Amino acid sequence: MATTSTPQHIRRPDGRRVALHDLTPDAPAGAPVVLFLHAAPGSGAFDPDPAETAARGIRLVAPDRPGYGGSDPVSGGAFATVETAAEDAAAVLESILAPGSTAAVAGWSAGGRVALALAARRPDLVGRVAVIGTPAPDEEVPWIPEENRAGVEALRGAPAEVAHEALTAAFGPVLAALTGDARFGLVGIDEVDGPVLAEPGVSDRLRAMLDEALVQGGAGMVADIAGYTLQPYGFDPADVAAQVLLGYGSADAIGQAHGVWWQRQLPDARLEMVQGAGHLLVVPFWKRALAHLVPA
């Protein structure tokens, strides 16, 4: 079964609503909070492994970034940056944490950048961090497809409205042409992930995540791409004081070189490679990630 949730909303100072999914509504009072930050495209309507989440006895919450699911896009000609997403995530934690307490934070793929930015900027809110399959900056470890690189570079320095319009024109036809499980490729999932996709419930949960992610069309995806390729991340990895677990798949295009780069930049990071795993590593790695985030 797919994880379903009716998101709540918090209001940001600029008037935007940020949708927050409580993926464990039956969690006991006082349960440790884990904030999960989704891939691109993605949404907070995704628990990597509900059975492992339940077994750990945590409260798992997950916001939608701007333009995804129930979260409003950033308006006023602004970019939805990694920094913006981290500020939204901090506001989410402030709305649910008891005074003086912290949450563990996990980020899958693009969400890992936000997790690290949040930890660097708000150490008062963040305990441990897990980063799963997150790309290094392209200028450090190239990962943007060559067929897209020239288009991205042509937009560097352009106003947000221009960048968003160009990216919508480029990705709109792609999104329109993809239906059903062909959309999994948008998240970097390919044939190497077949055994994980075949596990009970995994495909259903991914479909639900993407249904929610694309409810506003490509707005979230376009905003994400513009925000993390055309704008600075807004944090220095050296400022992340939290203990960070880095999980990467040996068969993932976003593989060992990316994990090694982050490990070298972060003050306290452990890199673990999972042999044969692709970008859907977040599912089989979730038990290990939770053991790090909320140690027994």
Distance in angstroms (rounded) separating the CA atoms of residues 99 and 114 = 22
Q: Which residues pair with 132 in a beta bridge?
A: 108, 247
Which pTM does this prediction carry? Answer: 0.96
With beta carbons less than 8 A apart as the criterion, state whether 59 and 290 touch: no
CATH architecture under which domain 8-293 falls: 3-Layer(aba) Sandwich (3.40)
Q: What's the pLDDT tens digit per position in 248-286?
A: 999 999 999 999 999 999 999 999 999 999 999 999 999
pLDDT, position 5:
61
Distance in angstroms (rounded) separating the CA atoms of residues 256 and 295 = 25
Please name the residues in contact with 168: beta carbons below 8 A apart, sequence gap of 6 or more: 218, 222
pLDDT, position 283:
98
pLDDT, position 76:
75
Domain boundaries, the chain: 8-293
Which token pair is 69?
Answer: 């699911």
Distance in angstroms (rounded) separating the CA atoms of residues 104 and 53 = 13
Q: Which residues pair with 19 in a beta bridge?
A: 9
Question: Chunked in runs of 10, what are the mean pLDDT values of the chain (296 residues)?
Answer: 69 95 94 97 97 97 97 90 97 95 98 98 98 96 90 93 94 89 95 97 97 95 95 96 98 97 98 98 98 95
Phi, psi of 141 (to 5 degrees): -135, 100
